[in-house]
């Protein structure tokens, strides 16, 4: 229901908020060009600048937009090698997980980490300049924690990389 008591139309609910096609188009634009002027975004989505700005602020306040960041070129940052580390753990205790979280936070080369279902417990994405730097990350991990198994795969080619999420489900 809207504040007037009438049912809302044209939008889906996410965390109790209604988002419509205009919000989705705004998100699509911002995911491609975060520094694009509000006036340009407003023109493209068919709004005047002030209502467009209000929608962007609402997307930020509701947490749909978590942050605005700069994407750094991996090669130019001298970390061209991507390694995926599959980890099997000896314990699923909360203390082990807390220690593991602290470990992955302490190693800046670990850029992503996920807990999984299936045969592997965790997968980590590591970016490094070369195999010697990866070896240092590996040694830092095994010095601090016990693992049942660690398996590494070096990426040969990046076929797709995007930070843009599909917004059709919002």
Per-residue pLDDT in tens (0 to 9) along the chain, 170 residues:
334 343 333 444 455 678 999 999 999 999 999 999 999 999 999 999 999 999 999 999 999 999 999 999 999 999 999 999 999 999 889 999 999 999 999 999 999 999 999 999 999 999 999 999 999 999 999 999 999 999 999 999 999 999 999 999 88
* For the chain, domain boundaries: 11-61, 81-154
Distance CA(166)–CA(162), nearest Å, equals: 11
Confidence at residue 91, expressed as pLDDT on a 0 to 100 scale: 87
CATH of domain 11-61: 1.10.10.10
CB 101 within 8 A of CB 52: no
CATH of domain 81-154: 3.30.70.920
Confidence at residue 117, expressed as pLDDT on a 0 to 100 scale: 96
């Amino acid at each position: 229901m809207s504040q007037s008591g009438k049912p809302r139309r044209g939008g889906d609910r996410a965390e109790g908020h209604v988002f419509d096609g205009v919000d989705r188009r705004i998100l699509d634009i911002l995911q491609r060009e975060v520094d694009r002027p509000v006036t340009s975004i407003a023109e493209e989505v068919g709004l005047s600048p002030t209502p467009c700005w209000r929608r962007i602020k609402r997307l930020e306040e509701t947490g749909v937009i978590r942050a605005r960041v700069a994407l750094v070129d991996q090669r130019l940052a001298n970390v061209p090698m991507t390694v995926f580390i599959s980890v099997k753990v000896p314990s699923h205790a909360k203390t082990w997980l807390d220690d593991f979280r602290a470990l992955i936070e302490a190693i800046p080369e670990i850029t992503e980490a996920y807990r999984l279902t299936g045969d592997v417990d965790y997968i980590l994405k590591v970016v490094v300049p070369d195999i010697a730097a990866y070896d240092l990350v590996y040694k830092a991990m095994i010095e601090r924690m016990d693992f049942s198994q660690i398996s590494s795969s070096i990426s040969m080619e990046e076929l797709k990389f995007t930070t843009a999420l599909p917004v059709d489900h919002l």
